[in-house]
Amino acid sequence: MERRPLLAGNWKMNLDHLEAIQVVQQLVYHLEAEDYDASELVVCPAHTALRSIQTLIEGDRLRIGLGAQDCHWEDGGAYTGEVSAPMLAKLKVAYVICGHSERRQHFGESDEVVNRKVKAVRRHEMTPILCVGETLEQREAGQAEDIVVGQLRGSLAGVGITASSELVVAYEPVWAIGTGRTASAADANEMCGVVRRTVGELYGAEIAEGLRVQYGGSVKPGNIVELMGRPEIDGALVGGASLDPEDFAVICRHHRL
């Protein structure tokens, strides 16, 4: 089955709304129609830039999707500082990153919390980009596969998925994020295969076959081609390199490099 690659920029806590607009404008300047045909392209700005980027995408009819980096699990209520899934849906957000390792690490998000967030995103008909991945310690102890399977099973418990388009999983080994250290394409491919197999156990072969599994962790113009050449890798969740519109454009042009 042909899976259309999904290339998403996770801008993390970078770019105010004016800078974000500039980055998108410069990115599209470097892209051709064939790039949008080859892959689905998404940017995930900070919450404060979502409205500006939504307006830019709609106003200029850009073929770029909008993603958010996180949301709360409740639809509303006394949760000072939080943003809910219905608020994001109203901004035409299509994807919401759930369970990024930085949220697990710095904000104590457990699989149970991630599970509630995934459910909130699905309730409002957006697609979670569910992040999983092991730490260096866990990898060296030979636990990478068990950790990733456990995160998937915990984060997806009780989540009804009836089509491949309703879920994206990003395999992001924690030791490769922001470190300049990329997993080898072979290792990344193997772990993305573990993700697909586990999703198959949960939702059946057909959904697993159509599922897009991204790799994330120091994806750069110099390694995108090799990563995308692997059969289990259907795209990338790009941090640092997505802040530079020229670098991100090269990544988006991977199919013609």
Instruction: Tell me the catalytic residues.
Output: 100, 172
Q: Give the 3-state secondary structure of residue 227.
A: helix
Q: Which is nearer to ligand 13P, 57 or 170 (CB)?
A: 170
Number of residue whose CB is nearest ligand 13P = 239
Q: Which is nearer to ligand 13P, 171 or 203 (CB)?
A: 171
Distance separating alpha carbons of residues 227 and 209, to the nearest angstrom: 19
Q: Give the 3-state secondary structure of residue 94.
A: coil
Count, residues near ligand 13P per rule CB under 6 A: 14
Q: Which of 92, 137, 178, 204 binds ligand 13P (CB under 6 A)?
A: 178
Name the minimum Å distance from CB 7 to ligand 13P. Answer: 11
Q: Which is nearer to ligand 13P, 207 or 238 (CB)?
A: 238
Establish if 217 lies at the interface with ligand 13P (CB under 6 A).
yes
Q: Which is nearer to ligand 13P, 207 or 219 (CB)?
A: 219
CA angle 231–140–146, rounded 5-degree value: 60
Q: How many CA atoms lie within 13 A of 178 on its CB side?
A: 8
| CB neighbourhood size of 24 (10 A) | 24
| CB neighbourhood size of 184 (10 A) | 11
Interacting span for ligand 13P (CB under 6 A) from 84-92, 103-111, 153-161, 215-223: 215-223
Establish if 251 lies at the interface with ligand 13P (CB under 6 A).
no
Structure tokens at 119: 């459910």
Name the minimum Å distance from CB 206 to ligand 13P. Answer: 28
Q: Which of 99, 133, 239, 245 binds ligand 13P (CB under 6 A)?
A: 239
Report which of 83, 103, 78 is spatially closest to residue 93, judged by C-alpha positions.
83
Establish if 172 lies at the interface with ligand 13P (CB under 6 A).
yes
**DSSP letter at 43?**
E
Q: Which of 65, 210, 240, 245 binds ligand 13P (CB under 6 A)?
A: 240
Q: Per-residue contact track with ligand 13P, 104 to 123, x per CB under 6 A?
A: --------------------
- 135 contacts 143 by C-beta, under 8 angstroms: no
**DSSP letter at 184?**
P
Name the minimum Å distance from CB 167 to ligand 13P. Answer: 16
The structure tokens 């998108």 sit at 24
Establish if 42 lies at the interface with ligand 13P (CB under 6 A).
no
Establish if 216 lies at the interface with ligand 13P (CB under 6 A).
yes
Beta-bridged to residue 42, according to DSSP, are 8, 65
The structure tokens 């949220």 sit at 103
Report which of 202, 196, 117 is spatially closest to residue 161, judged by C-alpha positions.
202
Amino acid making up residue 7: L
Q: Which is nearer to ligand 13P, 56 or 241 (CB)?
A: 241
Q: Where along the sequence are the contacts to ligand 13P (CB under 6 A)?
A: 10, 100, 172, 177-178, 216-219, 237-241
